[in-house]
Amino acid sequence: MFSLKLVRWLLGYVRFSLKGGNPERFYNYCARGGFPLWDIRGRRQGGACVGARSYRRLRRYAKRAGCRLRVSERHGLPFAVLHAGKHRGIAVGCIAFFLMLRVLSLRVWCVNISGNSKIAGSDISNALTLAGLYPGAPKKDITAETVEQKTMLKLPDIGWMSVNMRGCIADVSVEEKDESPKIIDKSMPCNIKASASGQVISTQVGAGTLLVKKGDAVVKGQLLVSSVVEDVFGGNTLKHASAEIIAETSRTFTKEINMKRGVREPAGGFTVMRNLDFFGVSFPLTFKTKPKGDCDVAACRKELRVFGNLLPVSVYEEKWSRMSVKNVTLTEKQAREEAEKALDEAESGGLKGVKVTQARPSYRLSGDKFIYTAKLTCEENIAEESGIFVEG
C-alpha cells in the first residue's frame, strides 16, 4: 500500500470534483477507458482522484456523461517542484541528491591499497582493475576471494592479500613475499681466498685452518683459510671453511666529466592540461594539446578526501614546459663538486660493505675533460669462498 501511495505521489495526482450529469456513468467510462480512479466520493459530494497526466483525457468522458469537472486539489512531486517557483533548483537538487546517493551507493568509490613497498601501487591497481575491482565497479559483481586469487596470479610477488569492502570503499591489504635466504651447502668443502690485495687487520675464523695473521700482506687469490683441519690424533678432515678477514686495501676511483655540455633549461612558456576523473572516467577540463618540440612534463593528481576517506573524484594535472638546450662550460670547481658527488654515490652504492678510511683526490684537465682520480684506502672483508673438487 505504501509503495502504491509513493508511486502516486511521485507521478502526481489530482482530486477533482464532479457536478451535474450522471456520475456513475462517468466513473464507468473512466474505468473502461483505462483510467483508474480512487477515493471516489458519492453522488452528493462527487469527485475522485486520478493521475495528473490522465486528468485532461477525462474531459471527454465528463462531456458524454453530462458532468462538469473541476480540479480541487493537486498532490505529488511534479506539483511540488512546479510550485517551488524561484526555489525550483533546491527541489531538483534534493531529488538529484537522493537519486545520486542511491545510485552511487551501489558502486565502489575508491580502492585503498596498503602494505606494499617493493611492488608499485599502480601495478597492484592495474591488476585489481583486470580482476574487476576499480572505482566505479558495481559492488554486487565483486567477490573478494575471486579478486584476491586473480590479483595474486597476476602478481606472483604478493605473498598474501585481503580485499575488504567497507561500504563503498575497498581496502586492499597486501603482504609481499620475502626473498628466501641463500642456502650455503656446508657439506661441500671449500677454502677461503683473498678477493683483493692488502694488509690483514683482523681475522675471525668460523671453520678451517687460518694461514695468515694480523699485519700480513696478502695478494689477490692467496689462500687465507684452508679447509683441511688436523685433529689431535693427526688425522685430516675437510671442512667448509668460513671466516671474516678484514684487510686494508687500496682502490682507485676515476670519474671523467665533460667540461662543455648541453644543459636543458626551461625556455619559458608552459601548457597545463587538466582532467577530472570521476569513477575512473576522465573528463577533460582543458582542451589544449601537448606543445611541440622538446618538453618536460610534471604530473600530479589532486585527490579529494573527506574524513580521511578517498572520494572517487580527482583532478589530474600535467604541466608541459618547453625546454631548450644551452651549451655551457663548467668551471673546475663545478666539475670537482660533481665528481665528489659521484664518489659519495659510489661509496653508498657500489662500494657497499667497504669502509673508506682515507681518500687522496687528484685531478687534471685533458682537453675538454676533467679527470678526477681518488686513491682510496679502505677496510673490507676480503674472504672469498673457493670450492675444491674432491674425488670419490
Partner 1 sequence: MADIGNYRRMQCINMATHMEINGNSEAKVEGCRGVLEYDDDIVRIKTDKGVVRFSGRCLAIKCLTADSLVVAGFITCIEFSN
**Phi and psi (nearest 5°) for 82?**
-65, -40
Q: Looking at beta carbons only, is 46 or 189 nearer to partner 1?
A: 46
- Residue 149 C-alpha cell reads as 586469487
Q: Looking at beta carbons only, is 18 or 200 nearer to partner 1?
A: 18
Cβ at position 40, least distance to partner 1 in Å: 4
Cβ at position 64, least distance to partner 1 in Å: 14
β-bridge partners, 203: 245
Q: Looking at beta carbons only, is 61 or 320 nearer to partner 1?
A: 61
Cβ at position 43, least distance to partner 1 in Å: 5
Cβ at position 34, least distance to partner 1 in Å: 7
Residues in the chain, how many?
Answer: 392
Pairing between strand 169-176 and 110-114? Answer: parallel
Pairing between strand 260-278 and 369-381? Answer: unpaired
296: left (phi over 0), alpha (psi -120 to 50) or beta: beta
- Residue 162 C-alpha cell reads as 585481503
Q: Looking at beta carbons only, is 52 or 225 nearer to partner 1?
A: 52
Q: Looking at beta carbons only, is 39 or 230 nearer to partner 1?
A: 39
Cβ at position 42, least distance to partner 1 in Å: 5
Q: Looking at beta carbons only, is 34 or 308 nearer to partner 1?
A: 34
Distances (CA, A) of 95 to 87, 101, 209: 13, 10, 87
How many Cβ atoms are within 10 Å of 162's Cβ, its own excluded?
Answer: 12
**Cβ pair 311, 276 in contact under 8 A:** no
Q: Looking at beta carbons only, is 57 or 139 nearer to partner 1?
A: 57
Cβ at position 52, least distance to partner 1 in Å: 17
β-bridge partners, 247: 200, 380
Q: Looking at beta carbons only, is 48 or 67 nearer to partner 1?
A: 48
- The residue type found at 48 is A
- Residue 124 C-alpha cell reads as 597492484
- Residue 32 C-alpha cell reads as 473502461
- Residue 167 C-alpha cell reads as 561500504
Cβ at position 44, least distance to partner 1 in Å: 7
Cβ at position 73, least distance to partner 1 in Å: 17
**Cβ pair 372, 255 in contact under 8 A:** yes
Residue ranges that bind partner 1, judged by CB under 8 A: 23-24, 27-28, 30-32, 34, 36-44, 48
